Amino acid sequence: MERLITRPHDQQSKDGPRVNNEILSQTVRLVDADGEMVGVVSKQEALQHALRVGLDLVEVSPNAEPPVCKILDYGKYKFELQKKKAEAKKKQKVIEIKEVQLRPMIDVHDLGIKCKAIERFLLEGNKVKIAMRFRGRELSHQEIGMGVLERVRLQFEEISKVEHAPKLEGRQMIMILGPLTAK
């Protein structure tokens, strides 16, 4: 019942820890299958321990002197690592940047509807990019657009912070609001 896993020499440490005969060091600090410290032994002795219990010898801490090796089921070990990685990825909150487009001569009611959307985005924990678009002669009256952006900023100052102050970029003025507390 010999289960020694061997891979070509050039694949070592690319896809995980060294296992069984891949371990380079001649002496290792051995931890048995129960988690008990055996001590510093030769690589051959550690491999024999692993064979006796029908498990693999896995190098868990290669940078230690001598490297720490543990006797465990390598397939199960890889599966547990994958599960932990997937769980960590699931817990990550991805902050998106939502965009709302406004015009300088926007009606009060239309601005109210846009503000409801901005509020929803901020409460969901997303950043909001507010783009004030200027067309034709509106570009010569940037103060009107700046006034609308300032009203929006003041309306949401309790639940957001300005991450990027209003700045003219081409024919549009951009301001980015971020949530105060990321959920």
Q: List the one residue out of 176, 78, 57, 92 whose CA is nearest residue 127.
A: 176
Residue 132 and residue 142: Cα distance in Å, rounded? Answer: 10
What CATH number is given to the structural domain containing 120? 3.30.110.10
The CA-based angle 98-124-159, given to 5 degrees, is 90
* Helix locations, the chain, DSSP H: 43-53, 74-91, 108-123, 142-155
Check whether residue 81 and residue 144 sit in a common domain: no
pLDDT in tens, the chain (183 residues): 455 555 444 344 456 678 887 787 788 888 887 777 878 888 888 888 888 888 888 888 888 788 888 888 888 888 888 898 888 888 777 778 999 999 999 999 999 999 999 999 999 889 999 999 999 888 888 899 999 999 999 999 899 999 999 999 889 999 999 998 654
Residue 102 and residue 64 share a domain = no
